[in-house]
Amino acid sequence: MKDEIIIYQEKGQLVEVRLDSAQDTVWLSQKQMAKLFSKDVRTVNEHIKNLFAEGELEREPTIRDFRIVRQEGARQVTREIEHYNLDVIISVGYRVKSQQGTRFRQWATRVLREHLTQGWTLNQQRFEANANELEAALALVRKAAQSPTLSSDGGRGLVEIVSRYAQTFLLLQRYDEGLLTEPYVQAGGQLPSVKEA
């Protein structure tokens, strides 16, 4: 899932926040934290250095570089800027004894909870819809298979229908999970195999 930019607003102050639903966290740069906590960037930097030096948090899982495009004079420049996850943001907020930090933590927790709940609900609904379609197809196959007039040609046709439906079901499931690559298209409406998708 892609990161999403959301806006945190507190008393007229706006801070762009990167929401990472996949890792259940948010990301801020030192400059954004300084703005959020109404502190100097050097103060935020010092607290971050100390919390890593004291072993409160590890650097590796809590820092991520984002490519940011910004204006420098008359030209636009792309820079890799370190961003820090919610654990670091909360730790810095405690260290600077900031009420804004407490409110931000509450807001971030609420936003993450909403995204997790909505994402789970959406995925659950898709799964249930796909499962219901599969059950209906299987009921049709069972009914047809019990028919005394079913010939070998009819049996082959039934197997072909089930095979194609299973392919379609798996393709839709992979699409819902974001795992589907763009398939090779064949003339005549033939579906690609699951391996090709």
- Which residues contact residue 160 at a Cβ distance below 8 angstroms, ignoring those fewer than 6 apart? none
Bridge partners for 77 per DSSP: 70
Predicted local distance difference test score (pLDDT) of residue 93: 84
**pLDDT (tens digit per residue) in 104-130:** 777 777 776 776 556 555 556 666 666
Distances 142 to 79, 155, 162, 170, 196 between C-alpha atoms, Å: 61, 11, 11, 20, 29
Predicted local distance difference test score (pLDDT) of residue 188: 62
pLDDT at 1 > cutoff 50:
no
Q: Which residues of 59-98 are buried (b: 16+ CB within 10 A; e: fewer)?
A: eeebbbeeeeeeeeeeeeeeeeeebbbbebbbbbbebbeb
Structure tokens at 122: 């959406």
Q: Where are the alpha helices (DSSP H) in the chain?
A: 30-37, 41-53, 59-62, 86-95, 99-145, 152-176
**pLDDT (tens digit per residue) in 43-95:** 999 999 999 999 999 999 999 998 888 788 888 888 899 999 888 988 888 88
Element holding 14 (H helix, E strand):
strand 13-20
Predicted local distance difference test score (pLDDT) of residue 190: 62
**pLDDT (tens digit per residue) in 4-38:** 666 667 676 667 777 676 666 778 899 988 988 88
116 closest CA partner among 40, 15, 26? 26
Which DSSP category does 29 fall into? Answer: E
Predicted local distance difference test score (pLDDT) of residue 44: 94
**pLDDT (tens digit per residue) in 142-190:** 677 677 776 666 666 766 676 666 667 666 766 666 666 665 555 666 6
Predicted local distance difference test score (pLDDT) of residue 133: 74
Model pTM? 0.52
